Amino acid sequence: MREYYSITELTREFDISTRTLRFYEDEGLIQPVRRGRTRLFRPSDRHLIRQIMRGKRLGFSINEIREIIQMYREPPGEVGQLKLMIKRIEEKREDLRQKRRDLEETLGELDQLEESCVERLVELGVTT
């Protein structure tokens, strides 16, 4: 496991710009350490970026992604906080389950569409 990653290393790995990474820092999503003014990204920052990119692909906004990420940051010690956190986790999961239903439906419809295309090709005498 590497100690540190430079900003450009990560921009290449995730195919994003430096501006984007700095923006995520401004937004409090990541907190790379500094050597002088230069940012040094730890493996944990890298993992956070992976989570951010996943969230983006799933259509979560920066705010929603922040909500998820913050849950990982603070492992609360107090009972009330823990229960609240479990509730918030459950909400996010419900959100994700909705997305999964949407996804399966969309995939299903695309399957149908493709099938009808293939049928049409067969009618036209095309050997698939």
Query: Which residues of this protein are in contact with a copy of itself, per CB under 8 A?
Result: 51, 54-60, 68, 71-72, 75, 77, 79, 82-83, 85-86, 89-90, 92-93, 96-100, 102-103, 105-107, 109-110, 113-114, 116-118, 120-121, 124, 126
We find the least distance from the C-beta atom of residue 38 to DNA, in angstroms, to be: 4
We find the least distance from the C-beta atom of residue 86 to a copy of itself, in angstroms, to be: 5
We find the least distance from the C-beta atom of residue 110 to a copy of itself, in angstroms, to be: 5
Could you say which of DNA, a copy of itself, none residue 36 binds, taking C-beta under 5 to 8 angstroms by partner kind? DNA
We find the least distance from the C-beta atom of residue 60 to a copy of itself, in angstroms, to be: 7
CA 90 to chain CA mean position, Å: 17
Q: Where are the alpha helices (DSSP H) in the chain?
A: 7-14, 18-26, 43-57, 62-73, 79-123
- Give the C-alpha separation, 99 to 10, whole Å: 28
Q: Output the six-digit token pair for 77.
A: 């010690």
Could you say which of a copy of itself, DNA, none residue 16 binds, taking C-beta under 5 to 8 angstroms by partner kind? DNA
Size (the chain), residues:
128
Count CA within 13 A, CB hemisphere, residue 84: 9
Could you say which of a copy of itself, DNA, none residue 69 binds, taking C-beta under 5 to 8 angstroms by partner kind? none
Classify the C-alpha dihedral 122-124-126-128 as positive or negative.
negative
Could you say which of DNA, a copy of itself, none residue 108 binds, taking C-beta under 5 to 8 angstroms by partner kind? none
